[in-house]
Amino acid sequence: MKRLAIVLLSLTVTIGTLVSCSVTKHCNEPDITMPKEIAEGLRTDSLTIADMEWWEFYGDSTLCYIIERTLENNKDILAAAARVERMRETYRIARAAQYPSITGLVSADYETNDYYQEPSSRDPEFSAKATLSWELDLWGNLRWAKRKGNAEYLSSLEAWRAMHMTLVAEVAEAYFELMALDNELAIVQRTLITRMEGIDQARLRFEGGLTSETVYQQAQVEYASTATLIPDLERKIEVTENRIALLMGEFPNLDVGRKKMDIEVDMPEYVPVGLPSELLQRRPDVRDSEQQLRAAMAEAGMAYADRFPRLKFSLTGGLENDEIRGFLQSPFSYAIGSLTSPIFSFGQKQARYRAALAAYEEARLAYEKKVLEVFNEANNAVITYRNARRTAALKLELRDAALKYVDLAHLQYRAGSINYIDVLDAQRLYFDAQIGLSNAVRDEHIALVELYKALGGGWDIDAMPDPITDPSKTPKDKPTKNESQAVADTDSVE
């Protein structure tokens, strides 16, 4: 019996290896030819801002608090963590199917038979049995199922990490937009004060006969035109606050704390982006797509193996007797082996296998597209950040020049060398320049956030919390072991 088990095990491994090779032979490898650099003109080295933890990258304690609350309470990321748990348990089911199962049965029945024209009879029975069942994985069906479950579990884990990375960026972008709106509202309110002073001066000069009523009316029009901007700005501020509240898993009308925008902030000129090969390793959405590809290959392996016979063994042993007396001296045993094979299925299994190969091809192309998208996002993010810095620098020069223009216009108007309409034009240019600078600084912050996200920042394989054991844990707790490293299937696919 022992020798037979060894022979069967060796046969299983040999046949399983041949089946695996047959499947992988029909599954084309992804065609990925990476560029030499992520963006043209950048130094190629292993340094990247994505290595920074998000709380170190942003630095703003208020923003970090909002991000932490978001990662603790956001409904989407909590649902993603629940999906990780579901896929992990599903993987355990597939893994356990490879091993024998033992079931127990304890029963007692009392049957009375009173058939027509026959004497009445009684047939009691007492039994205690255990059954050992095992399917010999002759063609690798169960092994492919295990690999599929493992890939789907790791895919869900990478999807959770990708959502983590995306939420960090979404909160940061909304935060900087809110700061910019606050700053724009402050500019409008300061401008209203200036406009009101202009109305008072124009009224005094009109009543004193120094200017016409037209100048006075022009000043009032400028004040009213500026005042109309406030309601829309207040609406945008409340909408952005509600957007952040939703990300944090809170109801609307949440008082979102934030700091004032530093208009003259000095953003870094050189941002390290790392190597192209590291970009694919850092982006969890790429790793998610890769695991989906592995799951599709395993599905093809299951469909291929399902075309061949399945061998199952069952051994039942225990005690059985028709009365309690002598029950312990009444052994019972029963062994069965079954070979189930498809005979004629009208091509269903072959069609299912071809469909699985087509699904793998679809997943392979999706993976190749994801790689292209990642490099495209990273390249666009570098270009956007470069131009955002240039734009902010030019907007700062424009604001300073417009301020000098306003001062000169006031002096010339008091000297009588220009009309009041020229003063209003100078004030409009200065107002627009302040708003333009505020928006440029906002865009500069958001461009850096997008670059950090595109490079895979906000997620670190050595510092991410375990979404299963503690979904509320923040990354600052820095667990020492990665979930995928602790549970991942080590079997090769070839």
Pick 246 or 15 by higher pLDDT: 246
Model pLDDT for residues 263-309, shown as the tens digit of each residue:
988 888 888 888 888 888 889 999 999 999 999 999 999 999 988 88
pLDDT at 20: 56
Return the pLDDT at 55. 92
pLDDT at 21: 62
Superfamily classification of domain 2-98+140-307+348-487: Outer membrane efflux proteins (OEP) (1.20.1600.10)
Alpha carbon distance 263, 391 (integer Å): 13
pLDDT category of residue 364 using cuts at 50, 70 and 90? very high
The structural domains of the chain, with segments of one domain joined by +, span 2-98+140-307+348-487, 101-136+308-341
DSSP letter, residue 379:
H
| SS3 of residue 339 by DSSP | strand
The residue among 41 and 196 whose pLDDT is bigger is 196
pLDDT digit string, tens, across residues 328-349: 888 888 899 888 887 777 888 8
Dihedral pair phi/psi, residue 127, rounded to 5°? -150, 150
pLDDT of residue 244 exceeding 50: yes
pLDDT value of residue 491: 38
Kindly report the backbone phi and psi dihedral angles of residue 481, in degrees, each rounded to the nearest multiple of 5, phi listed first.
-130, 130
Residue 227, classified by CB atoms within 10 Å of its CB into exposed (0-12), middle (13-18) or buried (19+), is middle
Is the pLDDT at 445 greater than 60? The verdict is yes
pLDDT of residue 461: 54
pLDDT at 476: 39
Look at the domain 101-136+308-341 and name its fold: Outer membrane efflux proteins (OEP) (2.20.200)
Q: Which pLDDT belongs to residue 70?
A: 95
Q: Which residue has the higher pLDDT, 86 or 490?
A: 86
Q: At residue 39, does pLDDT exceed 80?
A: no
> Which helix (H) or strand (E) covers residue 202, if one does?
helix 141-207
pLDDT band at 471 (very low <50, low <70, confident <90, very high): very low
Q: What are phi and psi of 33, to 5 degrees?
A: -115, 100
Structure tokens that stand for 449 in this block: 């956030």
Answer yes or no: is pLDDT of 494 > 80: no
pLDDT tens column, 90-99: 999 899 888 8
Residue 217 has pLDDT above 90, yes or no: no
Q: Sign of the CA dihedral 438, 444, 450, 456? A: negative
Given a cut of 70, whether residue 397 has pLDDT beyond it is yes
pLDDT at 204: 81
pLDDT band, very low/low/confident/very high, at 486 (cuts 50, 70, 90): very low
Rounded (to 5) percent helix, strand, coil in the chain: 65, 10, 25
